[in-house]
Structure 1
Amino acid sequence: MRHLFSFFLTLLLTATGGSAAWAQSATLATQTIRGTVLDDAAKAPVIGATVVVLGVEPVLGGTTDADGRFRLPGVPVGRVKVRVTSIGYEDLLLNEVTVTAGKEVVLNLSLTERLTKLDEVQVVYRRSEDRTVPNNEMASVSARPFSPIEANRYAGSLGDPARMAQNFAGVSGANDTRNDIVVRGNSPASLLWRLDGVNIPNPNHFGAQGTTGGPVSMLNNNLLAKSDFLTGAFPAEYANALGSVFDLRLRKGNDEKHEYLGQLGFNGLELGAEGPYSKKSKSSYLVNYRYSIFSVLKAMGYDIAGTPEYQDFTFKTDVPVGQRGTFSAWTLGGRSNITFLGQDVDSTKADVYGDENSNSRPKFSTGMAAASYEHRLSDRTVGRLTLSASRTTQRFDSDTILYRTGRKVLAEIPAERNKFVQDKISANLLVSHKLSARDNVTAGAIVDLLQYDYQGVQLYPVAQTERDARGSTALSQLYAQWKHRFTDQLTLNAGLSASRFELNGSTVVEPRAGLQYQLTPASTLSAAYGLHSSLSPLLTYFYQSRQADGSYALTNRGLGFTRSHHFVLAYDRQLTDNLRLRTEGYYQALFDAPVERTPSYFYGLTEGADFAPTNKGNLVNEGTGRNYGVELTLERAFAQGYYFLLTTSIFDSKYEGSDGVERNTPFNTRYVANALVGREFRLGQRGNTFTVSLKAATTGGRYSTPINFEASSQNRAAVFRYDRAFSQQQDQYFRADVKLGYKINRARLTHEIAVDLQNVSNRENVFQQAYNPRTNQIGTAYQQGFLPVPFYRLTF
């Protein structure tokens, strides 16, 4: 790691040498802010809206044209506020718009129509700042919008949306080495990923099928627009999601100016470009390629055991079609592989990934693409058709190592051979109609055609074919949503979703409803209910159970949907223009969860935070569980040079397997608390800034299953006390991170230099305990220690 840090430091100093001194003597740089303003429900342009940059002398402002477009040139670099007003609409205040010299600011904004005409002297505080209002207008509770700025700003996030979300109330990470997120005690596998309206597979490098996380995200933070993260009782359009939803959006490329990006950091070496296809065209492209920095270092001669190799590519294009239509297409793909050799593992301690008794060679690839056409059928109706496809491939080969005395290898015996391929072709139709200022309805249909080829064989110590399946099936969904505004203060969001899984004919109908009441101009009370369902990972349905006569049977094929009732009550208060307090209480009653047919501890919703699929047969939908808790968020938006985010959650998460015993889920840490604070200092005359971001996070210990040491010694392999499953609590988790950054604005480009100091106290947080049959001891593997992660970005 010392070599890695030195490499980054040398490169950054070389790339930016002398720029700070040059910037001090130059004049203040400026940039253009432009974009569009649309009606939030109808998606039609708002003509004549006034857009003003606050706190700038002389006043900078303008109005929107017939297409809802506006342009504000000459905005000083730094952080500014932007206010948008229009007769008949609620005001919109963007409290934090970051302006840099190297890139134009393009804003795509929406206004909500007022129900009543206000007196000239009456001021109603409705939408304090855009980022507090989710993109999905049907979300009543548990919806946290976020911007790419936050993923870059928070210490420890590494530009990863999932790691950023670990700072929100009710959310914690599964472990430091992956970006899985646990929401309100639910399994990480209960998360639904969505990108530009398309339900997508796991978008992470080394992301196994049946999971939703991994060590490195393929989602490029530089390409994201404002997005939503939902943690409970979400709207009807989100189906096959039990615990949470990441509803991400890709931004449009700059349609007037060519811009470029170069970046070097934890996620890799990155190059990006965007711009119009021609000066007269409003069509744009956005392209980005990223290559593992560890592979770069390996090519330069740095010796790194178990080098993670990965690369990914993202492309998006947007093309106007006439005055009312827009065609867009995007593709995202990535490949990753790594090799762990048992001889490279330190035999004196447990390891998070490697095992001295085995070699493993996992390989992953994921590709997805979509094309959509959106058309404004009228000034009140918009329709969108999206066609998409994806493929995920996972290969895992392993050998068992037999040693002579003194760790000399006697033999390497093939132990496992797995290849899992899953294809999906989808059609997504959505129609939204604004009946009036009071009513908006949305309806849609999603059809997924699934094709699979699963091959899995265990070769040693016992030969067994675990999966051998090829075929196809389908998952379909219909939904309808209605938003009714009784008054400016009271709003109802209601919906109904229905899904069917063709493999076994399982069908579910899910009602959703939410109420929002504005108690005062600055406070809101909300309540919501939803019945939510999700399928088990497709791999689970094709696990083969060995029968008494030696044959195999697909004993999980009849599994239906796991279901959950969500109840949420929320209170939101804007204490000042920049300070917001939010508290939520929730209760989730889970039922029809997968458990074993014969009495046992197993519960399908304790899985999903690993690289391996669930290998259990004879599963039935008879498990139950419950999650309940209270969350508190106190957030200060970035203003006057600083921000903070304080979140805490107190909760309980329990389940019952087929043995009828109530147990903790492994994610039942009881509490989660996060504190983030950041300060920005303006330096020089060109808007250069130095930032300091601090983060501290603590949770209760995770629950694990004790190892039976005596039985493990006799069997020369780990034997667990499953009668006491998830009864052993690890020590409290604590981690502190510090991020230091320096932004340098030149005339037409911006340098950003940072270092993310993770786990600055070098605390040894327990990851797991593992039995070593060679040493006949139990070792403890610890999570990530102190890790400095340098970063450099150039935009021009």
Structure 2
Amino acid sequence: MKTTFSFSVPLRAGIILLLVLLMHLAGFAQGLPTQVVRGTVLDAAAKAPVIGATVVVVGVEPALGATSDVDGRFRLAGVPVGRVKLRISSIGYEDLFLNEVTVTAGKEVVLELALTERLTKLDEVQVVYKRSEDRTVANNEMASVSARPFSPIEANRYAGSLGDPARMAQNFAGVGSANDTRNDIVVRGNSPASLLWRLDGVNIPNPNHFGSQGTTGGPVSMLNNNLLAKSDFLTGAFPGEYANALGSVFDLRLRKGNDEKREFLGQLGFNGIELGAEGPYSKNSKASYLVNYRYSIFSLLKAVGYEIAGTPSYQDFTFKTDLPVGQRGTLSVWALGGLSHIKFFGADIDSTKADVYGDENQNSRVRYTTGIGAASYEHRFTDRTVGKLTLSGSRTVQDYGQDTILYRSGRNILAEIENYKADFTQEKLSANLSVTHKLSARDKVSAGLIIDLIQYSYYSAMLYPRVVTERKASGNTAFSQLYAQWKHRFTDQLTLNTGLSASRFELNGSTVVEPRVGLQYQASPASSISLAYGLHSSLQPLLVYFYQARQDDGRYLESNRDLGFTRSHHLVLAYDRQLSDNLRLRAEAYYQSLFDAPVERTPSYFSMLTEGTDFAPTNKGNLVNEGTGRNYGIELTLERAFSRGYYFLLTTSLFESKYKGSDGVERNTPFNTGFVANALVGKEFKLGRKDNTFTVSLKAATTGGRYTTPIDYEASGALRSAVYRYDQAFSQQQTQYFRADVKLGYKVNRARLTHEIAIDLQNVTNNRNIFQQAYNPRTNKIGTAYQQGFLPVPFYRLTF
């Protein structure tokens, strides 16, 4: 089963829209617009409100400041639009600095700020260091290393990111992409399938349109960047609360809707056309809602007669509501759903070259449905103890059909015969219970229980030239996790994070126990050293367990049902130095030893460590947990936070990624590109008296070539079908990858609204990066398909 595709955005409609908007925006209103900045100040460990905290806008005349009330709430009115710096301070807490708060005329700024309690008393010598630079500190206090917080601003700012958190993360050290057509990410040489997606504390299925079960990426994200709050991206030795993940974790958070004022959004971009609204249910209540709907721009163009081969259609919907319950409780309900489908017809394929979008000998039809919903209640029992219960459910459906096309001569079709059918449905009901208790300024403990009840119905079969059933299974199983964590601060400079996680998979009784430990030392006011170790484990994609493989006696059996967890030891050493107020250097060295990876029972090259980047499931049977692998490398990051109108981010990674199949031969994984380097720089120019801004963002990315398996040309010609040299698996390296992107943006602040207009010029050098090389049986030639060429993507957003 093969289905690969990419998207290009027609420009005519976008250019016309941009010209109309520019003419509209040319007007000039009197007066400088201002906005409200407000929010809540909380104790970072206990989540209790901090009363009497001072919030000041730095460098503004006349002075602007506010004090938090009994609920920790503060309000600053009349803040000028643009970028401002905030200082938050309270007796007994470390100061918190926010260097980059973007204020626009069209939307209030609502912040949730967490202060860390000091260990030293006021009459003692206090050590003040830059840990309190909020943008460099992860939400998860238990993370000692490899935790990179990010904000929605970054996903919008970086050229080439298209507002997608996964594409944005490709700019971080140690992270690469699988290919341009999808947002899969390769972290430290691990398969993209080793990523865990989490949303508001819930482990969720693949949150991408056309996101196949068993994978973690796709061409278009269902996650809406306009609705995200500050979130974490973790790449190794992560805390004990994260289970069923080997390589990385996206711990995302949905923001709350504005609980004082109704606000609206309209946007047109790569992900489609969207409308959003948020606000309070009434003026007398602090209950709020947040709702957004997106519809594929390709579907709209098709409706007016503009259609491309294999037109992708997709739409998604996101909703969240937050309701205060008494003085100490909050009820949150959210939902995320998406539909996507696409068709490829072989008659539309250019037979003279390899094609990324389909196969001239096949018709393909695919439909995906994803729905996720959750309700959580958080209760603050005391000012030191917080508990949270979340009930959630999800449903994913993947329906695939394929025809074989028989030709008379040339391109004249003789017949179209259904040759493959797949229908995969998976449903999950989950309960998450967690409790956090702050023992003192030195100690914080937390514990949790997660139970997943999983129901599945899988069917897939080859129908031509003979019927072979690959999967035919339905039933239910369960996955459970119990964890405990402890954070101890020996001094203001030395912190210990420990944790223990235990997981069980009921399908075959597999059980694992995973210790985690991290130590962080603040060597000086500007530098820190951290060391962390974690034992991590991950189940195989559920589809793998039910694959029916042919046995020696000719029967087809589910030979993978007894597979256990793939496991790994992960050790990370990190050094972090604040070179100046806005310049930060970070270096990390890591070693990951993987074991118990599924490989074939008989000697072969295959390992599950090399899977996870395709739309098709892994169809391998007779697997056993006997494979190994190792990833090791060093990462460097030099980052300048946005200040004085510009920022930059320079990252580079040098690494090795190896594995062994059941034949005992050590090979490159396909992800062993050897190095990844990224350079991003952005500059903002103020225009006019209203702080309208013009921005330029530049990005350059390069990696070593991916490893592929050579094709046996002679055997392929004889069989008129591709035959690979699996004895030389992943021994052939493609040419080096390079891509440069440019993003130009213009933001206009009116009295009560903000226009943002931009164009993202992707692959501006039109570099020909190899996507795949494939054998074409009709032409008896090997063709090369290339990744995305030069692609301009227009963007417009209106907030009011």
TM-score range, shorter chain: over 0.9
Q: CA-to-partner distance for each residue in 1:481-527, whole Å, 9 max, x for gaps? A: 00000000000000000000000000000000000000000100000
Runs of 4+ in 1 over 4 A off after TM superposition: 118-123
1:463 and 2:467 correspond: yes
Displacement of 1:549: 4.1
Q: Which amino acid aligns with 2:622?
A: N
Structure 2 residues not aligned, in runs of 5+:
1-6
For 1:63 and 1:106, the matched residues in 2 are separated by: 15
Q: Which residue of 2 aligns with 1:741?
A: 745
Q: CA-to-partner distance for each residue in 1:661-717, whole Å, 9 max, x for gaps? A: 000000000000000000000000111000000000000000000111111111111
For 1:242 and 1:342, the matched residues in 2 are separated by: 38
Q: Which residue of 2 aligns with 1:179?
A: 183
Quick check: 7-16 or 198-207, which moved more?
7-16
For 2:586 and 2:67, the matched residues in 1 are separated by: 34
Q: Which residue of 1 aligns with 2:27?
A: 21
Displacement of 1:379: 0.7
Displacement of 1:461: 2.9
For 2:761 and 2:698, the matched residues in 1 are separated by: 10
Displacement of 1:3: 8.2
Q: Which amino acid aligns with 1:383?
A: G
1:312 and 2:292 correspond: no
1:415-430 paired onto structure 2 within 5 Å: 415-430=419-434
Q: Which amino acid aligns with 1:98?
A: T
1:190-209 paired onto structure 2 within 5 Å: 190-209=194-213
Q: Which amino acid aligns with 1:726?
A: F
Residue of structure 2 aligned with 1:543, choices 524, 544, 547: 547
Q: Which amino acid aligns with 2:28?
A: W
Residue of structure 2 aligned with 1:565, choices 557, 563, 569: 569
- What SS is found at the alignment partner of 2:716? helix
Q: Which residue of 1 aligns with 2:58?
A: 54
For 2:113 and 2:231, the matched residues in 1 are separated by: 13
Q: Which residue of 2 aligns with 1:9?
A: 15
Q: Which residue of 2 aligns with 1:162?
A: 166
Aligned residues: 794
Q: CA-to-partner distance for each residue in 1:91-143, whole Å, 9 max, x for gaps? A: 00001000000000000010000001245985612334211000000000000
- What SS is found at the alignment partner of 1:185? coil
Q: Which amino acid aligns with 1:319?
A: L
RMSD of Structure 2 on Structure 1 (CA):
1.1
1:68 and 2:72 correspond: yes
Q: CA-to-partner distance for each residue in 1:351-382, whole Å, 9 max, x for gaps? A: 11311111111110100000000000111000
Residue of structure 2 aligned with 1:129, choices 128, 133, 140: 133
Q: Which residue of 2 aligns with 1:644?
A: 648
Contact conserved, 1:428 with 1:446, CA < 8 A, in 2?
A: yes
Contact conserved, 2:424 with 2:459, CA < 8 A, in 1?
A: yes
Q: CA-to-partner distance for each residue in 1:714-768, whole Å, 9 max, x for gaps? A: 1111110000000000000000000000000000000000000000000000011
1:365 and 2:369 correspond: yes
For 1:73 and 1:22, the matched residues in 2 are separated by: 23
For 1:461 and 1:10, the matched residues in 2 are separated by: 51
TM-score normalized with structure 2 length: 0.98
Displacement of 1:2: 9.5
For 1:745 and 1:119, the matched residues in 2 are separated by: 47
1:600-615 paired onto structure 2 within 5 Å: 600-615=604-619
For 1:665 and 1:539, the matched residues in 2 are separated by: 22
Q: Which residue of 1 aligns with 2:4?
A: none
Displacement of 1:13: 2.6
Q: Which residue of 1 aligns with 2:480?
A: 476
- What SS is found at the alignment partner of 1:460? coil
For 2:118 and 2:406, the matched residues in 1 are separated by: 74
Q: CA-to-partner distance for each residue in 1:240-282, whole Å, 9 max, x for gaps? A: 0010000000000000000000000000000000000000100
Displacement of 1:585: 0.1
1:302 and 2:309 correspond: no
- What SS is found at the alignment partner of 1:628? strand
Q: Which amino acid aligns with 1:304?
A: I
Displacement of 1:338: 0.4
Contact conserved, 1:431 with 1:444, CA < 8 A, in 2?
A: yes
For 1:69 and 1:9, the matched residues in 2 are separated by: 44
Q: Which residue of 1 aligns with 2:220?
A: 216
Q: Which residue of 2 aligns with 1:246?
A: 250
For 2:28 and 2:8, the matched residues in 1 are separated by: 31
Q: Which residue of 2 aligns with 1:402?
A: 406
Q: Which amino acid aligns with 2:521?
A: Y
1:280 and 2:295 correspond: no
Q: Which residue of 2 aligns with 1:356?
A: 360
Q: CA-to-partner distance for each residue in 1:262-318, whole Å, 9 max, x for gaps? A: 000000000000000000100000000000000011111112111000000000000
Quick check: 542-551 or 682-691, which moved more?
542-551
Q: Which residue of 2 aligns with 1:141?
A: 145
Residue of structure 2 aligned with 1:153, choices 157, 181, 184: 157
For 1:194 and 1:18, the matched residues in 2 are separated by: 41
For 1:280 and 1:70, the matched residues in 2 are separated by: 18
Quick check: 395-404 or 194-203, which moved more?
395-404
Q: Which residue of 2 aligns with 1:702?
A: 706
Q: CA-to-partner distance for each residue in 1:640-660, whole Å, 9 max, x for gaps? A: 000000000000000000000
For 1:458 and 1:556, the matched residues in 2 are separated by: 19
1:596 and 2:600 correspond: yes
Q: State the identity %.
A: 80
For 2:495 and 2:147, the matched residues in 1 are separated by: 16
1:265 and 2:269 correspond: yes
For 2:554 and 2:537, the matched residues in 1 are separated by: 35
- What SS is found at the alignment partner of 2:315? strand
For 1:119 and 1:378, the matched residues in 2 are separated by: 28
Residue of structure 2 aligned with 1:621, choices 613, 622, 625: 625
Structure 1 residues not aligned, in runs of 5+:
none
For 1:404 and 1:703, the matched residues in 2 are separated by: 38
